[in-house]
Structure 1
Amino acid sequence: MEEKGKKYFRTHEDLAIYKLAFSVAMEIFEQSKKFPVEEKYFLTDQIRRCSRSVCANMAEVWRKCRYKAAFVAKLNDSEAEVAEGQVWLKFAVKCQYIKVEKARELYETYNQVLSRLVKMITHPDDWLLD
Structure 2
Amino acid sequence: MADGRVGVATSVWDMIVFQKAYAAALEIHRIAQTFPKHEQYELASQLRRSSKSICANLAEGRARQQGSTAEFRRFALIALGSTDESALWCRFAKDLGYLTEDQFQKLSGQYVEIAKMLNGLIAKLK
Q: TM-score, normalised by structure 1?
A: 0.88
Q: Flag the structure with larger Rg.
A: 1
CA contact (8 A) 2:94 2:100 kept: yes
Question: Which position in structure 2 is the counterpart of 1:80?
Answer: 81
CA RMSD of aligned residues (A): 1.9
Give the C-alpha shift of residue 69 in structure 1: 2.2
After TM superposition, what 4+ stretches of structure 1 lie above 6 angstroms from structure 2? none
Question: Which position in structure 2 is the counterpart of 1:46?
Answer: 46
Greater relative contact order structure (CA < 8 Å, 6+ sep): 1
CA contact (8 A) 2:70 2:125 kept: no
Question: Which position in structure 2 is the counterpart of 1:24?
Answer: 24
In the aligned structure 2, how far is the partner of 1:53 from the partner of 1:83?
A: 11
User: Per-residue CA shift, 1:18-54, capped at 9, x if unaligned?
Assistant: 1100000010011111100001111010000000110
Alignment: residue pair count: 123
Q: TM-score, normalised by structure 2?
A: 0.90
Question: In structure 2, the residue corresponding to 1:34 is in which secondary structure?
Answer: coil
1:93 matched to 2:94? The reply is yes
Question: In structure 2, the residue corresponding to 1:35 is in which secondary structure?
Answer: coil
Within 5 Å, which residues of 2 pair with 1:55-74? 55-65=55-65, 66-74=67-75
Question: In structure 2, the residue corresponding to 1:27 is in which secondary structure?
Answer: helix
Give the C-alpha shift of residue 64 in structure 1: 2.2
Percent identity, please: 26
Q: Which runs of 5+ in 1 are unaligned?
A: 126-130
CA contact (8 A) 2:28 2:47 kept: yes
Q: Which runs of 5+ in 2 are unaligned?
A: none
